[in-house]
Amino acid sequence: MTTVDIPEVGPAARTFGIEDVPVSKGDSRTLRMALTQTYIPVPGTTDQVVLVSGGSPVLNLAEAFHDIFDAVTGTFRFV
């Protein structure tokens, strides 16, 4: 887990990597995915976060997708 700073929002926790995700409940098959998850604390609370998540099955572009997910998350704002 790493900490990132989102402009106009503040620090947030982020995880990223390659994971095997179940295809569906009760199905033993999995799909290998590049995943990025950012946990953004909700201002004025101590127990709530917003989860911004991105995933792609195109593993040879995992680093590029991580950059795209980072850019999208960087536009997040509380209104």
Q: Where are the domains of the chain?
A: 2-73
**pLDDT tens sequence for the chain (79 residues):** 999 999 999 999 999 999 999 999 999 999 999 999 999 999 999 999 999 999 999 999 999 999 999 999 999 999 9
DSSP symbol at 61: G
Contacts of 7 (CB under 8 A, 6+ apart): 74
Within 1-79, residue ranges assigned H as helices are 62-73
Overall pTM > 0.85: yes
CA-nearest of 47, 51, 22, 53 to 35 is 53
